Structure 1
Amino acid sequence: MEGYDLLVVGSANADLVIGVQRRPAAGETVLGSDLVTHPGGKGGNQAVAAARLGARTALLARIGDDAHGRLLLDTQRAAGVDTVGVLVGGAPTGVALITVDPSGDNSIVVSPGANARLTPGDIHAASALLAAATVVSLQLEIPLETVAATVRAVGPGTRVVLNPSPPALLPSDVLAACDPLVANEHEARYLLADHPASEDADPAAWATALLARGSRSVVITLGAAGALVADRRGHVHIPSEPVDAVDTTGAGDAFTGALAWRLGVGDDLESAVRFAVRVGAVAVTRPGAQQSFPTAAEVTAPGE
């Protein structure tokens, strides 16, 4: 089997998107735009983001034998992702219900569907795919036991990147494998709910506490403010250039896919995050998730 810069193990969803003037309060109904269907899911998004940048990428996921599943397969292949690890059947394709307000902020509810049927047995059956990858990237839209099985199956030469979204408490050996753990403010505070750092306003405090809990390195994403990179040697803030945000859907996945790819081709963590911040900044200036992801030429700074 050919080698991959990146293997993404995770979810593949159909994103059902509605634009709203404001998100409804509890018990309230608001009118929205026409419904638009896009390919999505954190795993699918990360794979497309990396492949569009030029990464040798494969996806290990499960989809339904339905129209949404065929849409996802077609878009993965069009982006250059190897779909040899995409399993079909067992349940309908997962769906994400997304509302986007005029500022570009979104709210998302996910119905996992086939994603919930990706099992540790599927991971064990894909051992050759895991062995062929320099970096394995994971999220938590698939069962936690499957995430843990993946981490335990990777070889010592494979780097693990994990985005704990939606947040869940991680087994100690999974947290210890993260290099880096990529979390936003909400996710970091969730993982530190029983720690005093969860009440701190300083992202560096969250990163320090997560390192103390075992993660090899930590990246805290800060939206328009960029990201914080931390490891045992210290931390550094990577700012983002100001942009006019249109839609933040998928921007975090674009960031993580770009980061994981750059680690897979040999960048150090800080350099990889600097590149990923630029990718995320471009993605928020365009509507949708996968269709907003840039090519390498669109994010390469002069002289690079």
Structure 2
Amino acid sequence: MSANVVVIGSLNMDLVTRAPRLPLGGETLIGHSFATVPGGKGANQAVAAARLGAAVAMVGCVGNDAYGAQLRDALLAERIDCRAVSTVEGSSGVALIVVDDNSQNAIVIVAGANGALTSAVVDRFDDVLQAADVVICQLEVPDATVGHALKRARALGKTVILNPAPAGRALPPDWYAAIDYLIPNESEAATLSGLPVDSLESAERAASHLIGLGAGKVLITLGAQGLLFASGTGFEHFPAPKVKAVDTTAAGDTFVGGFAAALARGESEAQAIRYGQVAAALSVTRAGAQPSIPTRSEVKAFKSS
């Protein structure tokens, strides 16, 4: 299978409970429901790109447990090329997610098999990267692997996207030159830039700082406030489509996958941003991570309504 989008990253089983609100320290709450849902930022972005029109390959690791088989099967059901999804000894990655009645969430991630995605594993599947037009990375696998993958994709002349999530610290300085599109949310942009991001103006300052570090272009997702696009020549604000949010769990991943899919089929940056925004808006109207991600036909129907 030839893939025009390759995602290098995490696969997690999401253990999701819904509760009236997020618990306080030491507090026990009675929840509304519980479900196990395939997730992980890498796998979510792969599913999003596939449903939104791209031919997709996934590079990652799962454990030799029941979750690992389920995670692989979920990708195969989306016609995602999984020959670079390796099975390793031990448990698969998991994410413990609480979603409150206001659709906000709190997440704890245990890496499991995602920690086994090394640079050597990526190199074993170099032919997969060579077949790509767009390569996407995130930060739920080892940093050394992410840096290696970014630089290899750049060396191959691919369009390189980094979604720096979860961002607990600044990125290594030598990563930036390999990144065409850096796509953080507000808190991630603040962490990476060391500047507060709480308004459109402050987002512009943070984006300028990140471009100064060497990133090609920066897209800061601002939730209900839309998105700020920054390049070396200026800024553009893209307002968010208006919807009623139910669960924001995979909104960022859906945007990244939709944006990448649109770029891979030759759409302009502005078209790709708007496409990803509509896909993300549809995703927040549904519960769950991968189950919430819309298809290309659903995005088309929303845009024409």
Q: TM-score, normalised by structure 2?
A: 0.95
**What secondary structure does 1:29 align onto?**
coil
- Distance (Å, rounded) in 2 between the aligned partners of 1:211 and 1:255: 21
For 1:160, the equivalent position in structure 2 comes to 160
The runs of at least 4 consecutive aligned structure 1 residues that moved more than 4 Å come to none
Asked if the contact 2:187–2:197 (Cα under 8 Å) also holds between the matched residues in 1, the reply is no
For 2:175, the equivalent position in structure 1 comes to 174
Q: After TM superposition, list the pairs within 5 Å mapping 1:1-304 onto structure 2.
A: 2-154=1-153, 155-167=155-167, 168-193=169-194, 197-198=195-196, 201=199, 202-300=202-300, 301-302=303-304
- Distance (Å, rounded) in 1 between the aligned partners of 2:156 and 2:84: 21
After the TM superposition, which of the residue ranges 251-260 and 167-176 deviates more from structure 2? Answer: 167-176
Unmatched runs of 5 consecutive residues or more in structure 2: none
Aligned residues: 299
- Distance (Å, rounded) in 2 between the aligned partners of 1:91 and 1:207: 40
CA apart distance, 1:21: 0.4
- Distance (Å, rounded) in 2 between the aligned partners of 1:273 and 1:107: 26
Asked if the contact 2:88–2:116 (Cα under 8 Å) also holds between the matched residues in 1, the reply is no
CA apart distance, 1:33: 2.6
Instruction: Name the aligned partner's letter for residue 174 of structure 1.
Output: W
Q: Deviations over 1:2-61 (max 9, x none)?
A: 432200000000000000101111222212133210000000000001111121000000
Asked if the contact 2:65–2:90 (Cα under 8 Å) also holds between the matched residues in 1, the reply is no
Instruction: Name the aligned partner's letter for residue 58 of structure 2.
Output: L
- Distance (Å, rounded) in 2 between the aligned partners of 1:171 and 1:34: 40
Instruction: Name the aligned partner's letter for residue 302 of structure 1.
Output: S
**What secondary structure does 2:133 align onto?**
strand
- Distance (Å, rounded) in 2 between the aligned partners of 1:63 and 1:144: 18
Q: Deviations over 1:202-237 (max 9, x none)?
A: 211111111111100000001112111111111111
- Distance (Å, rounded) in 1 between the aligned partners of 2:36 and 2:45: 18
Q: Deviations over 1:245-272 (max 9, x none)?
A: 0000111101111111112222222221
Instruction: Name the aligned partner's letter for residue 192 of structure 1.
Output: S
- Distance (Å, rounded) in 2 between the aligned partners of 1:185 and 1:172: 20
Asked if the contact 1:12–1:40 (Cα under 8 Å) also holds between the matched residues in 2, the reply is yes
- Distance (Å, rounded) in 1 between the aligned partners of 2:220 and 2:211: 12
After the TM superposition, which of the residue ranges 266-275 and 112-121 deviates more from structure 2? Answer: 266-275
CA apart distance, 1:103: 1.4
Percent identical pairs in the alignment equals 43
Unmatched runs of 5 consecutive residues or more in structure 1: none
Q: Deviations over 1:178-212 (max 9, x none)?
A: 2110000100000112xxx4367421111111111
Asked if the contact 2:19–2:32 (Cα under 8 Å) also holds between the matched residues in 1, the reply is yes
- Distance (Å, rounded) in 1 between the aligned partners of 2:197 and 2:39: 33
